[in-house]
Chains A and B, each alone.
Chain A
Amino acid sequence: MDPKDGERMGAAGPGPLSRQGSIYSLTFDEFQNTLGGMGGGLGKDFGSMNMDELLRSIWTAEESQAIASASASASASAAGAGAGPVGDGGAALQRQGSLTLPRTLSVKTVDEVWRDFAREGPPGPTAGGAEPQPNRQPTLGEMTLEEFLVRAGVVRDNPAAAAAAAAAAVSAQPVAPRPIQAVNNGASIFFGNFGGANDAGAGAMGFAPVGIGDQAMGNGLMPGVAGMAGGAVTVVSPVDTSVAQLDSMGKGNGDLSSPMAPVPYPFEGVIRGRRSGAGVEKVVERRQRRMIKNRESAARSRARKQAYTMELEAEVQKLKEQNEELQKKQEEIMEMQKNQVLEVISNPYAQKKRCLRRTLTGFGEPKFLLYISDQQSRMYQC
């Protein structure tokens, strides 16, 4: 991000959200046509979509655009109806401010939001570049995506406001899994944080760095990150989902260098481009810390389980061995007893002899008794 862009952002205020080549300058009708043309088969009218779905479809469209612009830069301008100077790098991915979808908004359908607009009356001066003339926008189809998103409160041009909103959202619902926050153009702020988060994460657990993981996720959502240097989009979703994502994603770094993002990721440049937005930074940091803690706790839980399993396995092994030993011993004893009996049966002579010998060495009655008893027991032998 060059500093000029930052200035533009700060000073322009209500300036246009979109750059040329951006789908944000399209109206809903045009956007739908574009999607149809791209074969993005939505199968659904925008009106019945909820805001989440709308954003997702916009991002999808953006992706395709980014891919197109990566392969042939001309196609970007073909897709975008707007005019103006080319922005920095991947214009298709550029957005300003921050996208924040509170829970209440994300589940509303586009139609509902549209109706809310109608009730509220003409748009304020912050509503994109268009002048507030309600009669000029009688239908949803004619409204640009940009304007719609701005009025719906999804997009804020001012990063400070976005930060405040984000902070509010976080403090209000610290663990709510739904709200999706996409911080765009504030990407550099994010990446600056990743350094710290990575340190903490790696130091604490030796896990794949948190920030990179998120980045990878962003890439997953938008495969054509050709304009990464210009302005990337990072989607930070709540801890649980992002952890799941990270697990499935594997190493974030690997993803970064994957063919999905052909342009190597200029990390230093991004850090250099660190901008104001301490609020966002704080929120992000807190989120990262929570994520790291959560991950640590998960690791502990796994270790606990594994340790207990090991202990039980060792116990089982020990008992098995003991059991085997005892069984062997028992067998030996049984064998010995059997042998004794067999010996007595098969070789009574030795027995007799022994008896006899004993009787011979003995005196008086016992000799006779022993001899008798022996004879009695083995009558047939005599």
Chain B
Amino acid sequence: MARFVDPLVVGRVIGEVVDLFVPSISMTVAYGPKDISNGCLLKPSATAAPPLVRISGRRNDLYTLIMTDPDAPSPSDPTMREYLHWIVTNIPGGTDASKGEEVVEYMGPRPPVGIHRYVLVLFEQKTRVHAEAPRERANFNTRAFAAAHELGLPTAVVYFNAQKEPANRRR
């Protein structure tokens, strides 16, 4: 089932990371037992391990998953936009990201300043891709990557927020 894109527009994910698209594939992202909803706030400690990303779609279609942080290093001055956190290619439809090929190893959110958005974008591949990992994670461009690998527009996007946890939390 296609997700509603308005939260992505309001959250400026559409615009700053990807262009306007019509969701055609359902993607659920779960850190631990719970699926996340767009715009929810997660603790970096809860996102240290890669999430379970399940996608719909047909078994013989392949998908690419990219996770980036458009707010690095600080949301008010995102000089590293986008910071790359994860690339998995060749994920068969109807499975999860662990069935694909991890091109760039998952790196958990570690926002130094402010509340960052972490965007997971799913593209449908035309064919099997052999993507090379970018030399560095900073200043990655999802659009450019998609263009380079003929991925077209996204088919699903999920994003969440994370903020640095205080060193000693009173509670």
B37 within 8 A of A: yes
The digit string for A294-320, where 1 denotes a CB below 8 A from any CB of B, is 001100110110111011101100100
Which A residues are CB-close (under 8 A) to B57? none
Which B residues are CB-close (under 8 A) to A308? 7, 37-41
B132 within 8 A of A: no
The digit string for B1-39, where 1 denotes a CB below 8 A from any CB of A, is 101101110111000000000000000000000000111
Main SS of the interface on chain B?
loop
B37 and A306 contact, CB distance less than 8 A: no
A293 within 8 A of B: yes
- Complexed CA–CA distance, A308 and B115 (Å): 14
A293 and B10 contact, CB distance less than 8 A: no
**Closest Cβ of chain A: how far from B70's Cβ, in Å?**
12
B76 and A307 contact, CB distance less than 8 A: no
B11 and A303 contact, CB distance less than 8 A: yes
Which A residues are CB-close (under 8 A) to B75? 297, 300
**Closest Cβ of chain A: how far from B21's Cβ, in Å?**
16
Q: Which size class do A's interface residues fall under?
A: 10 to 19
B95 within 8 A of A: no
**Closest residue of B by beta carbon distance from A300:** B75
The digit string for B130-164, where 1 denotes a CB below 8 A from any CB of A, is 00000000000000000000000000000001000
Name the contact of A304 in the complex, choosing from B1, B8, B39, B76 (C-beta under 8 A): B39
B7 and A307 contact, CB distance less than 8 A: yes
B6 and A310 contact, CB distance less than 8 A: yes
**Closest residue of A by beta carbon distance from B75:** A300
Which B residues are CB-close (under 8 A) to A306? 10
Which A residues are CB-close (under 8 A) to B38? 307-308, 311
Given contacts A303-B10, A304-B115, A304-B161, contact A311 B76 (CB under 8 A): no
**Closest residue of B by beta carbon distance from A315:** B37
A307 and B114 contact, CB distance less than 8 A: no
- Complexed CA–CA distance, A22 and B68 (Å): 62
- Complexed CA–CA distance, A318 and B35 (Å): 15
A312 and B37 contact, CB distance less than 8 A: yes
Name the contact of A311 in the complex, choosing from B1, B4, B41 (C-beta under 8 A): B4
Which B residues are CB-close (under 8 A) to A297? 75-76, 114
Instruction: For the complex, count residues of B whose C-beta is within 8 A of A.
Output: 19
The digit string for B25-69, where 1 denotes a CB below 8 A from any CB of A, is 000000000000111110000000000000000000000000000
**Closest Cβ of chain B: how far from A149's Cβ, in Å?**
38
**Closest residue of B by beta carbon distance from A305:** B39
**Closest residue of A by beta carbon distance from B77:** A293
A314 and B7 contact, CB distance less than 8 A: yes
Given contacts A297-B75, A310-B6, A314-B4, contact A304 B11 (CB under 8 A): yes
**Closest residue of A by beta carbon distance from B11:** A307
**Closest Cβ of chain A: how far from B146's Cβ, in Å?**
23
**Closest Cβ of chain B: how far from A313's Cβ, in Å?**
9
**Closest Cβ of chain B: how far from A243's Cβ, in Å?**
15
**Closest Cβ of chain A: how far from B3's Cβ, in Å?**
8
Name the contact of B10 in the complex, choosing from A301, A307, A315, A318 (C-beta under 8 A): A307
Q: Which residues in chain A, 273-308, are within 8 Å of chain B measured between CB atoms?
A: 293, 296-297, 300-301, 303-304, 306-308
Interface centre among B4, B8, B10 (most CB of A within 10 A): B10
**Closest Cβ of chain B: how far from A317's Cβ, in Å?**
8
- Complexed CA–CA distance, A318 and B161 (Å): 23
- Complexed CA–CA distance, A307 and B12 (Å): 9
B114 and A311 contact, CB distance less than 8 A: no
B76 and A293 contact, CB distance less than 8 A: yes
**Closest residue of B by beta carbon distance from A293:** B76
Q: Which residues in chain A, 306-342, are within 8 Å of chain B measured between CB atoms?
A: 306-308, 310-312, 314-315, 318
Q: Using a CB–CB distance below 8 Å, which chain A residues touch chain B?
A: 293, 296-297, 300-301, 303-304, 306-308, 310-312, 314-315, 318
Q: Using a CB–CB distance below 8 Å, which chain B residues touch chain A?
A: 1, 3-4, 6-8, 10-12, 37-41, 75-76, 114-115, 161
Known pairs A293-B76, A307-B8, A314-B6. 14 more at Cβ < 8 A?
A300-B75, A301-B115, A303-B10, A303-B11, A303-B12, A304-B11, A304-B115, A307-B7, A307-B38, A308-B38, A308-B41, A310-B7, A311-B7, A318-B4
Q: Which 5 residue pairs of A and B lie closest in terms of their CB atoms, listed nearest first?
A: A308-B39, A307-B11, A314-B4, A307-B10, A311-B7
A-B contacts, 25 of them at CB < 8 A, read A296-B76, A297-B114, A300-B115, A301-B115, A303-B10, A304-B39, A304-B161, A306-B10, A307-B7, A307-B10, A307-B39, A308-B37, A308-B38, A308-B39, A308-B40, A310-B6, A310-B10, A311-B4, A311-B7, A311-B37, A311-B38, A314-B4, A314-B6, A315-B37, A318-B4
